Structure 1
Amino acid sequence: MFSLPTIMAGAWFINSVVILLVVCFFMFHSGIYILECISKYGAGTNYFFISKELLPRWACYIANMALIFVLYILIYAYISAAGSVIKEAAAIYGYNINLRLIFIIFTLILGASIWWSGVGASRLTSLFLFIKIILFILAFSGLFFIVKTDLLLTSPVEGGQTALLPFVFIIIPYAITSFGYHGNVCSLYKLYHENERKVVKSCVIGCVLALVLYFLWIMGTMGNLPRAEFLTIINKGGNLDAFIESLYAVLNSKNIATFLLWFSISAVFCSFLGVAIGLFDYILASLNFKDNPSGRMKSALLCFLPPLILCMLFPNGFLIAIAYAGMAACIWAIICPAVMALKVRERFPDSRFKVWGGKGLIYAVIAFGVVGIICQLLAQFNLLPIYR
């Protein structure tokens, strides 16, 4: 979410909204393909099982390695983001705290909550989610009153919206990460007692809510920050502290700026816990560690040490990490589910639950995943237009 306005600055508001709609469409359907596959094997089935059943062994390993990579790289991104916003908050109150020390303390405290109790960590996540919603309302109710529509709807360059089209491709990997709900599909199928209709409804509601939230977020930010101001943010590494500093400079209300800062902190805490709990449980189960203090400590060390070390070495990697997570998500969350849907229809031709669209939509989803990978690879080699 926090990377979107910065990475969308090149294409600007109208083009970015169109890309969000396209990405949301394909990400929704790729997630529902996972539902179609697990519905043939029953509740309790996980992603690893269906990939092992429906994909060649090499493809199964690639898919699951991509899944693990996404979880690790997102934890790294959230530690990096948390460090930047906490440092910014401390500076406002007159404290200068070492960034790497913040990384360590943040990881130790939230990591310890997950090690201590999965239920406790889930409740902590719910608490941060509640705080995030309250702060979102407080911050954005003020932001919307001062949105400048001419900033949003008028092209910031000669040639109109068409001149900004080359910048839309870099958005795709980041937007893909923003709609990554796929790891929850198996749990939802079990939660709703194998009722596919309820799972689909839940996924529709989730995707629409995310789409609305992102729309409000980029409208509130792009409607207050001129396009040129985003160059300053990008040149500072694109981390959250630089983004919030720029908003401080243009907002006349100290209260709105403060609410926005604390909203950012609560959102990062919530996102970190959500991803970290998933990776922690994955490691605990896949390596057969006992669910006791010793086994959970082993899982915690494997879960948190690698991204923490990466943060100590590369503290400002939030934007880059989100892009790589998007590229890996193209493999495990887009291409592989679509391929598995083809295989499961061959194996169960008379199945009662099938995603609409036939093979045409499946191939379109696969093509979209390939486009996402190509976009990130081109960006990596500086072959894609990037606003900077």
Structure 2
Amino acid sequence: MNKKAIGATLLISGTMLGAGMLALPLISAGLGIYNAIILLTVLWAVMTYTGLMLLEVCLNYPTGTGFEAIAYDLFGKPGKWVIHLSLLLLLYALSCAYIAGASSIYKSDLTDYFHISVPSHVIAIIFTLIIATIVFISTKAVDMANRVLFSTNIVIFLTLVITIIPFIHGRFLVNINDSSKYAFAAIPVFITAFGFHGSVPSMVKYIGREHPKTLRNIFIAGGLIPLVVYIVWEITMLGSLPRFGNHSFQYIAQHGSNVGVMLQQMQIFIQEKSIIYLIGAFSSIAMFTSYLCVSLGLFDSLASTFKHGNNTKDRLITAVLCYLPPLVFTLVYPNGFVPALGAAAIFLTILAILFPVLALRKLRGKQHQIEYNVATNNIALFVVGLIGLQVIINQILTLNNAVPIFN
């Protein structure tokens, strides 16, 4: 790969790596490490496959054509609005998750490190205002803040992985006999960890439509990096804290699967404070950068939807629409981190699994110029589409407490 391709690969990886990975050990504690690794690998393969489907679709439209325009061409106005609403609802759901997660993490940080007790709702409001201010200033301000913080977090993560190795216990990683039943609740959250599909049109524009094989390699390698990071993170977290007991993942699940509670439990169990500081710093920065990027996307989408300009008045109205609804959700449901991520999986599945399958099937039924042809057939499209429907069903069942949840 040349430097441009390497940069694009890292951009794809960066799109996936974020606060969502904090939920992985919380939702997979019941599964156990072996089932979690198998499930992560399978879902990585599915999401990469649908990403390559989108690549073929995008290469048959003018460079820069977005999903809404493609959906309009293939499915008319109904298709365009389904894609548009799915994108907005996905970004809103992720916003709810990140504000809820941030409030629990920062509350824990303030209590543990500064001995200051601040209510979660106050932290949620302050956190949202800080993010909103940066986004309101400019996209350049978001880029600068994200670049510095994301680079810092990579160093923190690598340091954490090295220093926590002595505290990983093999006995914590042993599967229990009935652990696979928790896969139903885990699948939707795992899906959100591999959502890079919104970047496909941008990558086609950046790399050039004349290099389809390079684009294919970028999407495959860009997803492999997060897969390896997630597996290392799962081993690190699940191997550092027992599944059952007074200080365990079971205790965390019984207290709302809260990220802040997870940090507190690890602080009790791991006596090395430097490791706890590293976990806390990594979690705090990941939550900040993830919401910064997601809210920028939501801000721009809302501005486009309501045709708001770039003047101060229009940007203020857009900011209110962008930040008030998820903030209200968090104030009402302070433990909404994992549930909101699960809800986001529904809309991500529509965009990243069902849309690629239906668009590719429709496109291949028309006369089109094939610049890149992903290996597939009607049976494969049907199976992948079925997986997408199953993800949505799983999340609906999870929200209604109709599938086993580790607690």
TM-score (norm 1): 0.95
The equivalent of 2:187 in structure 1 is: 172
The answer to whether the 8 A contact 2:298-2:322 is kept is yes
Residue type at the aligned position of 2:58: I
Identity rate of aligned residues, in percent?
28
Alpha-carbon offset, residue 357 of structure 1:
2.3
Distance in structure 2 (CA, Å) of the matches to 1:165 and 1:108 = 41
The equivalent of 2:390 in structure 1 is: 371
The answer to whether the 8 A contact 2:67-2:83 is kept is no
Distance in structure 2 (CA, Å) of the matches to 1:240 and 1:10 = 16
The equivalent of 1:142 in structure 2 is: 163
Q: Deviations over 1:24-70 (max 9, x none)?
A: 11111112222211111121211111111112433432232122111
- SS of the residue corresponding to residue 22 of structure 2 reads coil
Alpha-carbon offset, residue 77 of structure 1:
0.7
Query: What is the correspondence of 1:40-55 to structure 2 with a 5 Å cutoff?
Result: 40-55=60-75
Q: Deviations over 1:107-130 (max 9, x none)?
A: 111111111111111121111101
Alpha-carbon offset, residue 349 of structure 1:
4.7
Alpha-carbon offset, residue 14 of structure 1:
0.4
Q: Structure 1 residue 247 and structure 2 residue 266: aligned? A: yes
Query: What is the correspondence of 1:152-167 to structure 2 with a 5 Å cutoff?
Result: 152=173, 154-155=174-175, 157=176, 160=177, 163-167=178-182
**Candidates 301, 316, 321, aligned match of 2:320:** 301
- SS of the residue corresponding to residue 27 of structure 1 reads helix
Alpha-carbon offset, residue 270 of structure 1:
1.0
Q: Structure 1 residue 32 and structure 2 residue 52: aligned? A: yes
Residue type at the aligned position of 1:183: G
The equivalent of 1:181 in structure 2 is: 196
Distance in structure 2 (CA, Å) of the matches to 1:350 and 1:183 = 23
Residue type at the aligned position of 1:32: L
Alpha-carbon offset, residue 150 of structure 1:
2.7
The answer to whether the 8 A contact 1:345-1:351 is kept is no
Aligned length: 382
Distance in structure 2 (CA, Å) of the matches to 1:304 and 1:317 = 16
Residue type at the aligned position of 2:72: K
Q: Deviations over 1:329-378 (max 9, x none)?
A: 12122111110011111123551311112333222211110110111122
The answer to whether the 8 A contact 1:78-1:272 is kept is yes
Distance in structure 2 (CA, Å) of the matches to 1:288 and 1:198 = 36
The equivalent of 1:276 in structure 2 is: 295
Q: Structure 1 residue 107 and structure 2 residue 128: aligned? A: yes
- SS of the residue corresponding to residue 365 of structure 2 reads helix
The equivalent of 2:18 in structure 1 is: none
Q: Structure 1 residue 61 and structure 2 residue 81: aligned? A: yes
Q: Structure 1 residue 224 and structure 2 residue 237: aligned? A: no
Distance in structure 2 (CA, Å) of the matches to 1:63 and 1:42 = 19
Distance in structure 2 (CA, Å) of the matches to 1:2 and 1:361 = 32
**RMSD of the TM alignment (CA)?**
1.4
Residue type at the aligned position of 1:130: S
TM-score (norm 2): 0.90
Residue type at the aligned position of 1:211: L
Distance in structure 1 (CA, Å) of the matches to 2:194 and 2:130 = 28
- SS of the residue corresponding to residue 278 of structure 1 reads helix
Q: Structure 1 residue 72 and structure 2 residue 92: aligned? A: yes
Extract unaligned runs of 5+ from structure 1. none
Alpha-carbon offset, residue 298 of structure 1:
2.1
Distance in structure 1 (CA, Å) of the matches to 2:379 and 2:166 = 44
The equivalent of 2:356 in structure 1 is: 337
**Candidates 314, 319, 329, aligned match of 2:338:** 319
